[in-house]
């Protein structure tokens, strides 16, 4: 199977996992719209795709009105949204309860959790009408078990995405709509720049790369309508998962 003719929206598409998924889906024949807050980065990703299969739209998914306009504009341009990939996410250097700024808590919850809700809420009506659709939420192992690495706010936001994904999946399973909770461990993306302790190049070389996550997402998106991957945990071989 391939994604030829499929219409896809990827949030957080300007870098990291989102960019890798968008590039992979476009190479497989999909028409992809990538969204994010940095127009320059979005354009760089789009320029690498052959045949103009990736186009860009500026959007801050934490702003509900912008998320709604993103889905409306994508639908107008592509005719429909077959697949939604929520890959937008952030973290902060100060992550422990003793040094966590309440403003950072709000920002992480607004982007990581509410941003995911906003796009799903906007796209579901058309998917329900067609009785078809795939939603892949790029989550984290921090949404499966709360470790010290992610920190208080990140863990809470990702657990919220896990609950959101599974709740909506149960609600729409009889309407032909499939949701997946995709949970990578450490990935070499720009989010590492916000670690409290700098990450060495040696460590980066041993952890997951964005294309690893993209390969899994592509497999999920290419499954037939009868098959739904509920949750995937993908970690670097060297990373413990307890």
Q: Where are the domains of the chain?
A: 7-234
Catalytic residue among 9, 54, 151, 154: 154
pTM of the model: 0.97
DSSP string covering 41-103? HHHHHHHTSGGG-EEEEE--TTSHHHHHHHHHHHHHHHSS-SEEEE------S--STTT--HH
The model's pLDDT over 11-33, given as tens digits with 9 standing for 90+, comes to 999 999 999 999 999 999 999 99
Active-site annotation holds for 122: no
The answer to whether residue 119 scores a pLDDT higher than 80 is: yes
Lateral strand order in the sheet of 231-234: 54-58, 31-36, 7-11, 83-86, 133-138, 177-184, 231-234
The model's pLDDT over 38-81, given as tens digits with 9 standing for 90+, comes to 999 999 999 999 889 999 999 999 999 999 999 999 999 999 99
CATH architecture of 7-234: 3-Layer(aba) Sandwich (3.40)
């Amino acid at each position: 199977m391939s994604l030829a003719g499929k219409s896809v929206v990827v949030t957080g598409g300007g870098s990291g996992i989102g960019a890798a998924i968008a590039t992979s889906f476009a190479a497989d024949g999909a028409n992809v719209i990538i969204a994010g807050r940095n127009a320059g980065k979005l354009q760089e990703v789009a320029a690498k795709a052959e045949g103009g299969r990736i186009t860009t739209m500026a959007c801050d998914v934490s702003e509900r009105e912008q998320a709604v306009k993103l889905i409306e504009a994508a639908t107008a341009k592509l005719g429909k949204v077959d697949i939604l990939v929520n890959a937008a996410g952030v973290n902060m250097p100060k992550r422990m309860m003793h040094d966590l700024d309440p403003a950072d808590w709000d920002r992480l919850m607004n982007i990581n959790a509410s941003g995911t809700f906003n796009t799903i809420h906007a796209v579901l009506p058309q998917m329900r009408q067609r009785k078809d659709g795939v939603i892949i939420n790029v989550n984290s192992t921090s949404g499966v078990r709360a470790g010290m690495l992610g920190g208080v706010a990140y863990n809470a936001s990702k657990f919220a995405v896990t609950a959101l994904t599974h709740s909506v999946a149960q609600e729409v399973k009889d309407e032909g709509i499939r949701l997946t909770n995709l949970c990578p461990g450490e990935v070499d993306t720009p989010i590492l720049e916000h670690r409290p302790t700098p990450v060495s190049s040696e460590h980066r070389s041993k952890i997951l790369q964005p294309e690893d996550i993209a390969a899994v997402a592509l497999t999920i998106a290419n499954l037939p309508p009868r098959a739904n991957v509920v949750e995937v945990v993908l970690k670097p071989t060297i990373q413990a998962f307890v």
